[in-house]
Amino acid sequence: MNAPKASFTPRRLVAAMLTAGTLAGAGQALADDPIKVGILHSLSGTMAISETVLKDTVEMLIEQQNEQGGLLGRELEAVVVDPASNWPLFAERARELLAQEEVDVVFGNWTSVSRKAVLPVFEELNGLLFYPVQYEGEESSENVFYTGAAPNQQSIPAVNYLHDQVGVERWVLAGTDYVFPRTTNRILEAYLQDEFGVADEDIMVNYTPFGHSDWQNIVSDIRRFGSEGKKTAVVSTINGDANVPFYTELANQGVDAADIPVVAFSVGEQELTGIDTAPLVGHLAAWNYFMSVDTDENYDFIDAWIDYTGDEEAVTNDPMEAHYIGFNMWAEAVRKAGTTDVDAVKDAIIGVTVPNLTGGYAAMMPNHHITKPVLIGEIQDNGQFDIVWQTPSTVAGDAWSDYLPGSRDLIADWRAPMRCGNFNVSTGSCGGSTAAEEAEAALAE
Amino acid sequence: MWLTQPFNERSTQLFIGVLLAAMTLVTLLHLVVPAGHPLHVNAYTVNLFGKYLSYALLAVAVDLVWGYLGILSLGHGAFFALGGYAMGMYLMRQIGDRGVYGHPELPDFMVFLNWESLPWYWQGFDMAWFAFIMVLLAPGALALVFGFLAFRSRVTGVYLSIITQALTFALMLAFFRNEMGFGGNNGLTDFRDILGYNLRSDATRLGLFLATGVALAVGYVVCRAIVGSKLGRVCVATRDAEARTRFIGYRVERFQLFVFVVSAMLAGLAGALYVPQVGIINPSEFSPIFSIEIVLWVALGGRATLYGAVIGAILVNYAKTVFTGVMPDAWLFALGAMFVLVTVFLPKGVAGLLAYRLKRRRNDADAHGQEVTP
Amino acid sequence: MRNFPWPWPTLAEAGRCHAQWRARRWPQTLLLALLMLILPPAIAHAQDAERDTAALELLEALDVDSFPAKGEAIDAIVASEDDRARYWLQSLLDGRLQRADDGRFVVVLDNTGRDWPVEDALSGEALGEMSRRELDRIGINNALRNQLRIAIAVVDLYAADLELRRASAERLLGEVDAELAEPIAAVIEEESDSRVRQRLTLALAIHRLEQGEVEAVETLQGSLHSRVRVALNRAASSDDPLLAAAAQEAVNSIEQNLRINRGLETLYFGLSLGSVLVLAAIGLAITFGVMGVINMAHGELIMLGAYTTWAMQQLLPGQPGLALILAIPAGFMVAALAGIAIERGVIQFLKGRPLETLLATFGISLILQQLVRTAISPQNRTVVTPEWMSGSLVVNDALSLTLNRMYVLGFTLVVFAALMLIMRRTRLGLEVRAVTQNRAMARSMGIRATRVDIMTFALGSGVAGLAGVALSQLTNVGPNLGQNYIIDSFMVVVFGGVGNLWGTLVAGLSLGVINQILEPWAGAVLAKIIVLVFIILFIQKRPRGLFPQKGRAAEG
Amino acid sequence: MSLIKSLSQRDRVFDFMAPAESPVDVRHGPILYMEDVTVSFDGFKAINDLSLTVDDGELRCIIGPNGAGKTTMMDIITGKTRPDQGQVWFGTRHNLLTMNEPEIATLGIGRKFQKPTVFEALSVFENLELAMTADKRVLPTLFARLDGPARERIDEVLEMTGLSEQRRRPAGVLSHGQKQWLEIGMLLMQRPRLLLVDEPVAGMTEQEMERTAELLTGLAGKQSVVVVEHDMGFVRSIARKVTVLHQGSVLAEGSMDEVQNDPRVIEVYLGESEEAA
């Protein structure tokens, strides 16, 4: 891998200012004890497909940071481990990073289950985790920062778009059978019924196993469901590998985006590299970032990425942006706190604002979720997305959905004095808190 | 008495001795030696060892059926996972109202899937004794039904291996389904405490490690006693000449069934000890790949010598921990190469080399496992 | 592909004077052909200045943010007399109509990479390459896409090319409104092609039905097209009792007809799924049946076949079809060679120890997977589906069979037949069967069992490679491709009876069909589980599978 | 464990035939009675309504060319193969066609295979121990201990079969002849009422043959013995009554001399032996 060329365009300078602070640091010799940055992404096994690029992203960001003088005059050092797409191993590796390597912060995880597996470890050992992937919400841990989208930053706006702009009246909620689709679809069902008064017979829910490869029946059901006269759309939470055969089948059974658009929440540029997109033009995806975003920050990021990977065809995607944001936020917070001490950073980071790649700014909310714009893109024949709609302003991530009976009354606020991940506004008490007491327990030990 | 029989064998004395010594050593290095000292063993490592030991117990269970009965089970991960789930369900119930939703009874995943009440099969798991019985009973029952069908109709060899694989694969798919009420892909996690001890305290971890060690010792002795008994010899006879065994009056299928069930229960026990130490159980434990990997541990350690299985399990998993740490890409190559090399050049595994000398001196129980002609 | 402006009439004139267009069509096309051949730029030169300013305004109107506004702009273009209308609309539809920083409107000819070749939207002259940074695409959404398609369809109704006319007729079905009704009626009179006529008549009839004409029901009778059904359904619930009754009757007969088609569809799905299973499993049936080798790396051999296809397409950019066809022998060879390597390298040392071969080959599968990950990439690779394989064969409006799967189905049968021939008719087949029946005996009769082993294993592996080539058209081409099929393959082989090709065929197809029949009511996951459990129980009843094989290899 | 018990309960049904005292009823009738037994393997009739009776304590030799159905007959008696039709009775009480191998074995029918099959991984001693009459259900076997008499019996048989020195060696390393003896020894341990012996002297030296002859003749009287053998000399040396099988049915029966002078036998046999030679 060749190092990114340090071309100092004025913009890059500004970016440098924002991220790395004054360039003064660049000159002086770096203190010898480095700041350790843990990277917890699968490099082997089934998830390697998605996670390896995230590992590279963080490494790239660290490299850039060091070029700009590191942090607090100290060099950043990446500590990479491979949880090998094995959930128990994720927990073990997390423990290794925190207990053995004693890293100051960890960037990692993709799947919900891996996050759930490491959560107790981070809470017990009081570490910092930046989680870059859109997820099902229903969680707010004192030690985790969710830089990916919560349901209200992805699915809800997407549905609004389909309803208002495209005039969709019938909905197919198709997903892989795991927690993210389950929760998202449950939220959407409730939302569609409450907000748009969609009747039950106008909602079709369908779950398939991981890596499902035979979509004939399902697609033809969708076709039939969609040929009843009402405008129909498919909301797809189908996960990674299953998408290729799904879209192939869609194309071959002649399901045209103009007739039955499919809006996907788990299909980004990365996934499209595996698909012949010509027949898919017009199908949609909802993200908070697209590689096709037309801003100079983005083009700088892309160029840096292409140089870093040395691959002309290399693509960027939403979770990469999330890491970009998360990393800068953390760096900013460290600068603010003047230390990498976890508790200090935790307090300092709330309210921190850094530029995102879509020409706006992302702020860290008290519930450890961030503000993001929501973009709707249509697949183009070159494997890119063409942005057809976006929220007028950024949306703040909502840890607890307002559309689930269980979590309607819950809010999260990690500022003193509340310091609670699931405060129940109706009972006015910090419900069966995951983090608060555990943190104490951890500290007590 | 019958269970004390094995202690007359050198190998058993040796094994138990080493095991206990290792356990005490680790305990001392963890408790006595101050942190930061090069010899200090920290909680993370203790935890790791605990995991290895539970794997070792699982390997012993597999060796019992493969080494002495000649049944290559590619589905033992299923029994391991079932035991794990039984334990997991108990741990989930222990969380009580400390879940994120603070529901007094339902685990979080049930709350956000809008389940009104606990499904019937979750009843009783709040009681430790019930859960611990289920740890043995659930895998045992599955093994009993499956084994009864399979052995009665004399499904053998490859066919048996393949349908055991089908079994665990089917279970994996089933547990992935959220309707099953086992947390789907996320499985069971975020455990708090076991028998009132906080799972997130180092003391508990040490306790679990020791418990696993003891379980391994007991499991080993039980297996030893079985293979040392006349029944054990009937098993070997079955393995080598099934028809002949029938002609001298043994109802082979019942012996197979008995050993298979015992082995399944041991696997379940291993799973139950594994879950609280790694803090999560999810359907991936059912994946056929995992089951095949277990067999490799045994093959590497050496078939039909129970201690070989233990050695193999610990070796491979230690290697895994190291490799996936330092050079992730190399790991799968190494694992794959191991499969090939061991099966081709080291059919008797590491223990084969060890036992070679022993066998010279005495041709006792150790020896007769060695002529393996599957 | 670049579109040259076509001097077709715009919608506005279409209504007025389609008759004379008909008359002028031939010379027009000839002229067009000439122009295209000799002097493309000629067109550009032909333009005179003030038409361009007008055109520029038209395009300017497109460069706005609100999609409704764009919609109006499109209408304006349609209404304009400009003969480049279709060209613009088409480029807009393809997302290639863009605006450069200098305000010029250009059409991007190829939007891969960082710098794109472009041509001027007005003059059509090539402008060399532009960086994607200085270009702003004029975005459209699905609504506009629809609008554009219809607009283009209307224009194409007058096209010389029959295919274009048919396509546009298809598209107009259910899109006809009062404004279109009259010109279309006129076109029907003129149209020579019966299918186009029939389509347009339907389209018109739907419109008439919406106007509440009972006679329209007559025309729509029996058509299975969903638009028709929708229209009839609406009519059936209208307050005109006469109309409602007629429509209802029509709907009922259609529904009846649909049920039958549904059944056929499910059967086809089942067979195509089954064919995939057979293809994946049949190589295994050979190696397993003849040599008693459980080749866990079979899945990875399939994967190799798939990657070969990908590699071929990389070697022959732009000709996916040819690449695919060449991939068939190539895939076979690659996998076969890999197979030989495995046999010589490992399996020969494990004679008569089937369970060990299982472990060893599993190790090989891990190695091959990781090899692909490190050597090529952990990402999935794109394998393009050639034109002739995409889309579906339309049997009728309710039943269309996806082409790629049909090809796979056919391919499977061909492979199967070929294998049958090899086994029954060739020396190798004879020797193979001899060895299968009784190894020692065969050897004593001078058959070189080792050679037979190698050949057999190569054959089995090669077939796996073929399966890979086929699968590359249906699913992911990635490192995990093999894993997803290995277990199913084993199930098929064991269910069918080891070493029995017919068994494998029957087992595969029937499992496929069972699965697809179960799926609608049991759901995909449960269906799979049920099938697995069914197999497990079946093996209890018949430990040797559907078609038990007599002979040595059967004693696994 | 409780499961296992409940499972082994299923043995109850057969408790009345605990092998110690074999319950075979031979008061009025032969010990083995086969009538019109027919077996065919896809088309080919291996046994063709064969009828045969063996009296209690008799020593019967069965000869016949290859493919005459000798081994198949044994398979039927020991329950390995189920005939398409016919009857097979052990004594007058037990219908063998309704039982599986272990049941038949525990009833008191022992079999020695053509190709000696012993448990190679086990020591000679253990081979005999396994064969010994005992409660062969799962749990009893698990907790079984060798008591004095049992050991004596094993030693006795080791003596009889001349394997005393080999007692601790794995059976796998024995010579072919020794394996033959070991297998015979295992038969003796079973204390069967009826022995089926398939080519006992194949691969034996002259002396070994003689000892085998003695052994078998010695057994006769206490137990019934059915010997299948090619070696005419050997047959002559032990035979009292000989049955000739041909194409799955009895061709001739009688004393050695009778059958040898039977023209059909000569025809078949010489024809055969020439082919064989």
Percent of chain B's residues with pLDDT above 90: 53
Measured distance CA(A420)–CA(A417) in Å, rounded:
9
Q: Which residues pair with A206 in a beta bridge?
A: A174
CB distance B97–A432 less than 8 Å? yes
Question: Looking at residue D193, what DSSP letter applies?
Answer: S
DSSP A45-64: STTHHHHHHHHHHHHHHHHH
pLDDT reported for residue B321: 84
Q: Please report the residues numbered 412 through 441 in chain A whose beta carbons come closer than 8 angstroms to any beta carbon of chain B.
A: 421-422, 424, 431-434, 437-438, 441
Q: Do chains B and D touch (3 or more CB pairs under 8 A)?
A: yes
Q: Which residues pair with D41 in a beta bridge?
A: D44
- Cβ-proximal residues to A13 (8 Å cutoff; 6+ apart), any chain: none
pLDDT of C14 > 60? The answer is no
pLDDT of D238 > 50? The answer is yes
CB distance B368–D123 less than 8 Å? yes
Residue C469: pLDDT band by 50, 70, 90 thresholds?
very high
Residue D193: pLDDT band by 50, 70, 90 thresholds?
confident
Averaged over C266-295, what is the pLDDT? 89
> Is residue C217 one of the residues assigned to a domain?
yes
Rounded to a whole number, what is the distance in Å from the CA of D195 to chain B's nearest CA?
Answer: 12
Residue C467: pLDDT band by 50, 70, 90 thresholds?
very high
CB distance B112–A404 less than 8 Å? yes
**Chain C neighbours, 3+ Cβ pairs < 8 A:** A, B
CB-nearest partner of C355 from B149, B338, B374:
B374
CB distance B234–D8 less than 8 Å? no
Question: Looking at residue A98, what DSSP letter applies?
Answer: I
∠ Cα C314 C315 C319 (to 5°): 80
pTM for this entry: 0.85
CB distance A87–B43 less than 8 Å? no
Residue D84 tokens, joined: 């398409």
C-alpha dihedral sign at B258, B264, B267, B268: negative
How many CB pairs (< 8 A) connect B and C? 127
Domains and CATH numbers, chain D: 31-276 (3.40.50.300)
**Chain A neighbours, 3+ Cβ pairs < 8 A:** B, C
Residue D22: pLDDT band by 50, 70, 90 thresholds?
low
pLDDT reported for residue C16: 40
pLDDT reported for residue B77: 95
The helix (run of H) or strand (run of E) holding residue B318 is helix B306-326
The helix (run of H) or strand (run of E) holding residue C245 is helix C241-291
pLDDT of C51 > 70? The answer is yes
pLDDT reported for residue A333: 95
Q: Where are the domains of chain B?
A: 2-368
Residue D2: pLDDT band by 50, 70, 90 thresholds?
very low
How crowded is the C-beta side of A250, counted as CA atoms within 13 Å?
29
- Residues C427, C337: one domain? yes
Residue A243 CA, distance from chain mean position: 19
- Residues C95, C188: one domain? no
Interhelix angle C524-541/B157-176, rounded to 10 degrees, is: 160
How many CB pairs (< 8 A) connect B and D? 112
> Lowest-pLDDT range, A189-203, B180-194, C104-118, C250-264?
C104-118
Percent of chain D's residues with pLDDT above 90: 2
Tokens 């909680």 locate to B43
Chain D interface disruption, residue of B230, B231, B371, B372, most D CBs within 10 A? B230
Of B144-148, B331-335, D24-28, where does the model show the most confidence? B144-148
CB distance B162–C356 less than 8 Å? no
pLDDT reported for residue A107: 97
Could you tell me which of B282, B277, B351, B368 has the C-alpha nearest to residue B313?
A: B351
Rounded to a whole number, what is the distance in Å from the CA of A109 to chain B's nearest CA?
Answer: 14
- Residues C28, C91: one domain? yes
Residue C255 burial by CB count (10 A; 0-12/13-18/19+): exposed, middle or buried? exposed
pLDDT reported for residue D5: 46
CB distance A434–B190 less than 8 Å? yes
> Lowest-pLDDT range, A97-101, B263-267, B313-317, C143-147?
C143-147
- Cis omega before residue A417 (within 30°)? yes
pLDDT reported for residue C47: 52
Q: Is A47 on the interface with B (CB under 8 A)?
A: no
pLDDT reported for residue B65: 94
- Residues C185, C170: one domain? yes
CB distance B250–D168 less than 8 Å? no
pLDDT reported for residue A421: 84
The helix (run of H) or strand (run of E) holding residue A172 is strand A170-176
Residue with the larger pLDDT of the pair C332 and C132: C332
Percent of chain C's residues with pLDDT above 90: 25
At residue A25, what are phi and psi to the nearest 5 degrees? -55, -35
Q: Is A125 on the interface with B (CB under 8 A)?
A: no
> Is residue C486 one of the residues assigned to a domain?
yes
- Residues C462, C327: one domain? yes
Q: Is A216 on the interface with C (CB under 8 A)?
A: yes
Chain B interface disruption, residue of A93, A113, A121, most B CBs within 10 A? A113
CA dihedral C297, C302, C307, C312 (to 10 degrees): 140
Chain C interface disruption, residue of A213, A263, A269, A387, most C CBs within 10 A? A213
Could you tell me which of B372, B68, B233 has the C-alpha nearest to residue D132?
A: B233
Measured distance CA(B354)–CA(B300) in Å, rounded:
13
Cβ neighbours of C539 in B, within 8 Å: 150, 153, 155, 159, 163
CB-nearest partner of B244 from D19, D117, D168:
D117
Cβ neighbours of C370 in B, within 8 Å: 329, 332-333, 336
Identify the domain boundary among C118, C150, C182.
C150
pLDDT reported for residue C41: 46
Chain C interface disruption, residue of B159, B284, B286, most C CBs within 10 A? B159
Q: Which residues pair with D94 in a beta bridge?
A: D90
DSSP B226-261: HHHSHHHHHHHHHHH-HHHHHHTT--HHHHHHHHHH
> Lowest-pLDDT range, C35-44, C382-391, D87-96?
C35-44
Domains and CATH numbers, chain A: 10-149+295-367 (3.40.50.2300), 152-292+376-396 (3.40.50.2300), 410-444 (no CATH)
Residue with the larger pLDDT of the pair B207 and C377: B207
Residue A430 tokens, joined: 């910090």
**How many other CB atoms are there within 10 angstroms of residue D158's CB atom?**
20
> Is residue C157 one of the residues assigned to a domain?
no
CB distance A49–C380 less than 8 Å? yes
Q: Please report the residues numbered 82 through 121 in chain A whose beta carbons come closer than 8 angstroms to any beta carbon of chain C.
A: none
Identify the domain boundary among C229, C259, C289.
C259
CB-nearest partner of C379 from A46, A274, A386:
A274
How many domains, chain C?
Answer: 3
Residue A201 tokens, joined: 């017979």
Helix, strand, or coil here: D244? strand
Measured distance CA(C350)–CA(C343) in Å, rounded:
10
Could you tell me which of D176, D119, D177, D126 has the C-alpha nearest to residue D151?
A: D126
Cβ neighbours of C356 in B, within 8 Å: 343, 347, 374
Cβ neighbours of A422 in B, within 8 Å: 100-102
- Residues C254, C273: one domain? no
Identify the domain boundary among C96, C122, C150.
C150
pLDDT of C436 > 70? The answer is yes
- Residues C526, C397: one domain? yes
Reported as a single tens digit per residue, the pLDDT across B316-326 is 999 888 887 77
State which residues of chain A have pLDDT below 70: 1-32, 432-445
> Lowest-pLDDT range, A424-433, C440-449, D45-54?
A424-433
Averaged over D6-19, what is the pLDDT? 38
CB distance A387–C139 less than 8 Å? yes
- Residues C255, C267: one domain? no
Reported as a single tens digit per residue, the pLDDT across B52-97 is 999 999 999 999 999 999 999 999 999 999 999 999 999 999 988 8
> Is residue C556 one of the residues assigned to a domain?
no
CB distance C370–A258 less than 8 Å? no
Could you tell me which of B129, B133, B68, B8 has the C-alpha nearest to residue B263?
A: B68
Measured distance CA(C246)–CA(C249) in Å, rounded:
5
**Chain B neighbours, 3+ Cβ pairs < 8 A:** A, C, D
Chain B residues with CB under 8 Å of a chain D CB are: 2, 140-141, 144, 226, 229-231, 233-234, 236-237, 239-241, 243-252, 254-255, 257-258, 261, 363, 367-373
Residue B136 tokens, joined: 């043995």
Measured distance CA(C471)–CA(C483) in Å, rounded:
13
- Residues C395, C504: one domain? yes
Cβ neighbours of C229 in A, within 8 Å: 227
CB distance B299–C359 less than 8 Å? yes
Percent of chain C's residues with pLDDT above 70: 89
- Residues C216, C362: one domain? no
**How many other CB atoms are there within 10 angstroms of residue C407's CB atom?**
18
Measured distance CA(C402)–CA(C393) in Å, rounded:
6
pLDDT reported for residue D270: 62
Question: Looking at residue C380, what DSSP letter applies?
Answer: P
Q: Is A121 on the interface with B (CB under 8 A)?
A: yes
Q: Do chains A and D touch (3 or more CB pairs under 8 A)?
A: no
Residue A28 tokens, joined: 């002086």
How many CB pairs (< 8 A) connect A and C? 143
How crowded is the C-beta side of A391, counted as CA atoms within 13 Å?
22
Rounded to a whole number, what is the distance in Å from the CA of B283 to chain D's nearest CA?
Answer: 27
Cβ neighbours of A119 in B, within 8 Å: 189-190
pLDDT reported for residue A22: 36
- Residues C416, C449: one domain? yes
> Searching chain A, which residue's CA lies closest to the CA of residue B49?
A92
Q: Which domain holds residue C48?
A: 11-150
> Is residue C186 one of the residues assigned to a domain?
yes
Cβ neighbours of B191 in A, within 8 Å: 120
Reported as a single tens digit per residue, the pLDDT across C503-518 is 999 999 999 999 999 9
Averaged over D110-124, what is the pLDDT? 85
Q: Classify residue D91 as left (phi > 0), alpha (psi -120 to 50) or beta.
A: left
pLDDT reported for residue C511: 94
Cβ neighbours of B371 in D, within 8 Å: 120-121, 170, 172
With residues binned 3-state (H G I as helix, E B as strand, rest as coil), the percentages for chain B, rounded to 5, are: 75, 0, 20
- Residues C145, C169: one domain? no
pLDDT reported for residue C524: 84
Measured distance CA(C382)–CA(D212) in Å, rounded:
76
pLDDT of C9 > 70? The answer is no
Mean pLDDT for chain C overall: 81
pLDDT of C4 > 80? The answer is no
pLDDT reported for residue B360: 59
CB distance C494–B162 less than 8 Å? yes
* Predicted ipTM > 0.90: no
CB-nearest partner of B335 from C354, C366, C371:
C366
The strand order across the sheet containing C115-120 reads C126-131, C115-120, C105-108, C97-100, C135-137
Q: Is C534 on the interface with B (CB under 8 A)?
A: no
pLDDT reported for residue C113: 67
